[in-house]
């Protein structure tokens, strides 16, 4: 089962989590994490140097290529797991995936201080990996 990992570029736990999913027998996808935590910042700065506004940066070849790469891998996934906390893009990816009628999970590293009621859109919310892994395994049955 293909599992797309959603998370922040600055979240250093993403590669290790991908390894853990693989050890559980899943096909994790987290290659979007490879460009590093400043990828978006660097693209935005490049756009500023070119004299582009925010919208022009989003419409650039680089931004469209990055978007197409991520969207392709989200679209072929069987499930997604968002490692929280995640930014706006991560929440958009999760909502997009769930909106397609596919299972999307959230894994917190600790209980958040702020309550987000709309997280109930998620198929499941977890605070430990074994429970999440069990829920993913249930999808394969």
pLDDT in tens, 24-40: 999 999 999 999 999 99
CATH number of the domain bearing residue 111: 3.40.50.450
- Condensed to tens digits (0 to 9), the pLDDT of residues 55-113 reads 999 999 999 999 999 999 999 999 999 999 999 999 999 999 999 999 999 999 999 99
Total tally of structural domains belonging to the chain: 1
Q: Model's pTM, two decimal places?
A: 0.95
CB-count burial class (<10 Å; 0-12, 13-18, 19+) for 81? buried
Integer Rg of the chain from CA:
16
**Cα–Cα distance, 44 to 100 (Å, whole number):** 30
In which domain, by residue range, is 58 found? 2-139
Tokens of 97: 């995936």
Q: Which residues pair with 104 in a beta bridge?
A: 80
């Amino acid at each position: 089962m293909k599992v797309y990992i959603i998370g922040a570029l600055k979240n250093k736990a993403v590669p290790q989590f991908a390894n853990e999913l693989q050890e559980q027998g899943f096909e994790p996808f987290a290659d979007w994490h490879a460009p590093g935590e400043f990828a978006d910042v660097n693209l935005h700065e490049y756009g500023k140097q070119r004299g582009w506004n925010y919208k022009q940066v989003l419409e650039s070849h680089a931004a469209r290529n990055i978007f197409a790469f991520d969207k392709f891998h989200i679209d072929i996934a069987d499930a997604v797991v968002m490692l929280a906390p995640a930014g706006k893009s991560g929440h958009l990816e999760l909502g997009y995936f769930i909106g397609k009628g596919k299972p999307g999970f959230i894994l917190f590293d600790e209980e958040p201080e702020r309550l987000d009621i709309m997280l109930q859109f998620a198929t499941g919310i977890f605070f430990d990996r074994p429970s999440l892994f069990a829920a993913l395994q249930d999808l394969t049955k």
